[in-house]
Structures are given as structure tokens and as C-alpha cells.
Structure 1
């Protein structure tokens, strides 16, 4: 792995040119930070983090909706990361400390198990991008108990990127796309950014070599003046994505404009 990293860094240095590459994935940022990848790259090659944390983008309004349900005696189930996300007047952690029935689960299936054992209304606060939406959809299609409901806080990645590009407030030159999202929706929804805006892109996996290879792919596109979306994460991502998963998403969810924390409504 050390030799491969050195070879990739040599290639990156040979093609280095001023570029700002944005990723939209918390896992990518973790890999970049943990392995000091920014410090290994030439100064003119910059990687910046976009809105890629599914917890961080949930707006206070949706936290407020959950808090209102807690006050009405509803059991709220959600991921542990959601507990401290602030609403307008407190968080789910605050509500739990005050005696509200707020429970941490590791997935929607565990929330359904709670609903099956109790008479109380149980709501699962479903957060996440295209990666977690199929699981939510599958459980809804499986006909859960009548006392079970979902508050959907799911978001879509391509519209957010489109908003950032068209806002004119982000001077990005290239994109590293999230491998787990592309595992579900494939690479086609991202072709638009290369075709219409001339933005080089690479779908990346989650180890350091994946990130370095995606940077090299982007620099190679810039050098050759061939902006497109390249699939570095071919071991998991197909061009068409997971058609079974996307079919479930389409069957269960309607796409609507939604507010993101720190952003206005994104179409």
C-alpha cells in the first residue's frame, strides 16, 4: 500500500494544477483527516468539504416536529447522532432528559420491533441520503404495525450539488462523489455536472488509496481537457446503480423541495 500511495502521489505531483475539489461525504472527510491526505497533496490541489453529513443538514424545523410529538406522548426512535442536533428550543437529548420517550435505535427495523411490542404510537425519524432511503422504503413496503410511522428527513445529494453550483457562491472546479450514494443511484445522475458545467468528477471509495486515485483521475481529466464522471469505486458502483433499491425509493417517496440546515429550500 505504501508503494502504491507513493506512485499515486508522484503522478498527482506531475499533473498538479490549481484546483479546488469538493467532496460531499462525511466518510470521505474522515478518511482525508485521519490519514493527513491534504498535507500530502501539492499546495495548489485543494480538497474542501461540502454538505455531506446527513445529521448536520437536518433543519431545526424537523427537530421541532419530533419534539412536538414527544410532548404528545409519542415514542420517538432515531439514530444516536440525532439526539444532540438542536431544534429551535432544545434537542431530543433535552426531551429525553425531561422524561420524554426518546429511544436510540441502530436502524428502522429496531424501531419497528419496539412498535410491535407496545401499544403506543412509535415514530422513526429517518435521516440520511440515498444510502439509507432504500431501507426505510423496504420496511414501509413490508407493511409495518399500524402504530408505526416515519418522519422522513431524507435528502438527495445531486440537487444539493446543483444548488451549490448554480448559486455562484462556491468556486469549486471538481467533485469527488460519494461511493455509497452512487452504489444506490449509480453515476448517471452526476453526468449533468460534467456535460453542462465542464466539471471533472470521480466516484471514490473510502480508503486512502481511493481518495488519492480519485484526485489523480480528476487531475488527469483537467490535463486532457476531458471532464466526465469516472468510477474509481468500480468494485461496488455500477453505472445504473442498484435498480431494486431505486425502484423501492420511487415507489415509496415523493421528491419535494426541502430546507437544509444552513441552506434555503433546495428543489
Structure 2
């Protein structure tokens, strides 16, 4: 299959690994203090583990996992607010499958469904809008979450809801923005990040220019990369070459998908419906300045929180959990004392074990045999 098979060719993968080992020998980094490359996106994390790329790299290069999984950083209090809304009379509560099992203080949306709430999985926000039109006597709430990747679809759905005058459709907003998060990581004095592999999907919307501050202000090289083995390895090779040359620049490996300016129409839809304002709480990371997303005045009639007024929920993470350290690349999933015991895919304690893009879920699925070591 074009654009899949050709980026998974084993012969080319091994050739590139051999090239990487040769070039990595020229780095100033050692086995004891390797070059730490943060793969920001959970999709990258799963591809790395699935194809065993972390085990093929030279010993002086290491992947560390970043916070680019929106379900993984979903605060427990937000889940509790969703459960409160879902439990109200005459409500159909819709969300993506990944959000169903994320635990809050009062359980998960899946457990709320088992208790009788009408909670449904949808595959797009437009599915929820269609459901609202088919059930005019019910209040349909769509729980939208994600980075700039999913914001255009939500924005277009709300534009359609307004154009069609659908008055029983509401939106619970948990969209967040990526760039303030990366800045927050780099502001931490002990971040230990030497370079970034940036997510292809978010970059398809925002472009590569948005990352310029990482190279210019923080002197970290960054490469936007795709999700296949050769994409990721080529991205690593590009970062290695920058390090050898003592450069810090933003490069685009994923040019077949990502234009440097991003997607103008998607950006316009986002700007019409959303405003980026205020701080937002991230699970395991706390408040991150100016990472929150709100509806613009023209679309506030669809605001589920304004309509249903759930009680604000402030829920602290269990101090035993190391979710925040995993999300910032400071420890590996199996270093958490809850990993594989209290927290596993069947009885997940943290969101990183629930999401299909979570680092803990990836480690459990592909590296569980190492946990005994």
C-alpha cells in the first residue's frame, strides 16, 4: 500500500539504523548520558514501541515520552463534570471511545453508562449533531477533546449546528493547545530534553512555523515527523545531523502531509469558533498558562457548562502515581509503583493506561516483559 509499505521496508529500516549508528558515534552524548529525544505525540510513542525502534537505536540515543496525548492529560475533575451532566434527565452524552474509561473521582463515563446514563460513543462530532437532529426532544451533549488536530472538526460541526438552528445540541469543551505545553516543559530547569520529534497530525493544522521559538529561544532542534518506521528514523537522523553541526532549527520530514504554513482553512474554522484564552489544568502537569480553549461569543449558546452548570471539581492525583513524570519524560512507565498492578488496561488507575495513545498502555502492550527486570 502506497505511503505505508514503502515506509516500513525492513531493508531500508536496517540501512538507516546502520547509518544512524555511524553518525551517532560523532555525537558528544554517551551511553550514560544519551541524546534524549522527546517524541511529543502518543501516536509516535505507539509506533516506536510497536516496531521496536527504541531497541534498534544506538545506545547513546534515547526516546523520552511527551504530553501529546489529550486523553492522558484529561483532569479527573473534568470527567466528574461530564458524569454529572450525563446523569441529568433527558440527556444523551456523546464522546470518543478513548474517553469512556478515563477514571475520575466518581468513576468513568463507562461506569456512568452502566448506572443508567445515556452515554454513547461517536466517531466524529458530526455524528453527535446528527443524533441531536434525530432526537429533538432530547439534549445531546458532545464531549470534545484534543489538540488542534481535532479542533477543526468540532468547529465545523458547531458552524453547521448554528446554520441549521439546532437548539438541543451542546458542546463540553476540553480542547487544549500544544504550543504552550512545549514552552512549559522547556521552562522547567531539569527538563532533560535535548531535541524534539513533533507530531505530524497537529502540525498538519498549525504548520511548522509555530515551533520556531523552540529553536530560537531554547536552542533545541525539532523535526516534524510522520508515523511510520522510516519517518521516525529519518526524523532522528535529521536531529542527529543538527546536533553534530551544533545547530538548532525546525525541519519538516513529513512534507508529504505537512505544509510549513499549516492548513489555512482549518485555522480559519478554529479562529471563528474558538478563542485561546486562560489557563487550563492538565492531569499530572497542573495549570499551563494560556493553553485553554473557549467558545467565541457567537457560539456560546452551545456551551454545555453554561447550560447545565455542573459543580466545579478539583480532584488531586494520587501521590503514588507518576503520571506527570511520565508525561514530561522524567521517568519510564514501568518505574511507576502502580504500573502493571493497581494500574493495568483492565483496571486503569491513570489515563496513560487507558488511552490508545498513552505511553503506559504502549509500554504494557509491547514492553511488559521488561517490567520484571
How high is the TM-score relative to the length of structure 1?
A: 0.97
Could you report, residue by residue, the CA deviation over 1:45-65 in whole angstroms, capped at 9, with x for unpaired residues? 001111121211111121111
1:6 is matched with: 14
Superposed, 1:75-224 pairs within 5 Å as 75-118=92-135, 119-142=137-160, 143=162, 145-224=166-245
| Whole-angstrom CA distance in 2 between matches of 1:10 and 1:132 | 37
Residue of structure 1 aligned with 2:249, choices 228, 244, 247? 228
Give how far 1:261 is off: 0.7
Deviation track 1:209-240 (CA, whole Å, cap 9, x = no partner) reads 00000000000000111210110000001110
Of 53-62 and 35-44, deviating more is 53-62
Does residue 1:246 correspond to 2:267, yes or no? yes
Give the aligned partner of residue 67 of structure 2: 51
Alpha-carbon distance, 1:154 to partner: 0.9
Q: Structure 1 stretch 160-169 or stretch 202-211: which is displaced more?
A: 160-169
Aligned residue pair count: 267
Distance 1:218 1:121 in 2: 50
Q: What is the deviation of 1:10?
A: 2.2
Structure 1 residue ranges without an equivalent (≥5): none
Measure the CA separation in 1 of the matches of 2:217 and 2:270.
27
Equivalent residue, structure 1, for 2:76: 60
The whole-number CA distance in structure 2 between the counterparts of 1:243 and 1:168 is 35
What secondary structure sits across from 1:122 in the alignment? strand
> Offset of 1:111 from its aligned partner?
0.6
| Coordinate RMSD, CA, aligned | 1.1
Q: Secondary structure at the match of 2:68?
A: coil
* CA offsets 1:240-264 (integer angstroms, 9 cap, x no match): 0001101111111111311011111
Counterparts of 1:84 and 1:3, CA distance in 2: 40
Distance in 1 (alpha carbons) for counterparts of 2:40 and 2:170: 29
Tell me the distance in 2 between the aligned counterparts of 1:224 and 1:2.
Answer: 29
1:263 aligns with 2:263: no
Shift of 1:11: 2.2
User: Runs of 5+ in structure 2 lacking a partner?
Assistant: 1-8, 30-34, 290-373
What per-residue deviation string (whole Å, max 9, x for no partner) do you get for residues 62-108 of structure 1? 11111111222222100111111111211111110000011111110
Deviating more after overlay: 142-151 vs 130-139: 142-151
State the Cα deviation string for residues 168-195 of structure 1 (Å, max 9, x = none): 2420100000001100000011010001
Q: Provide the C-alpha distance between the structure 2 equivalents of 1:134 and 1:51, rounded to a whole number of angstroms.
A: 21
User: CA–CA distance in 2 between the matches of 1:89 and 1:95?
Assistant: 9
Partner of 2:58: 42
Q: Offset of 1:125 from its aligned partner?
A: 0.3
What is the match of residue 344 of structure 2?
Answer: none
Moved more, 106-115 or 7-16: 7-16
SS state at 1:254 partner? strand
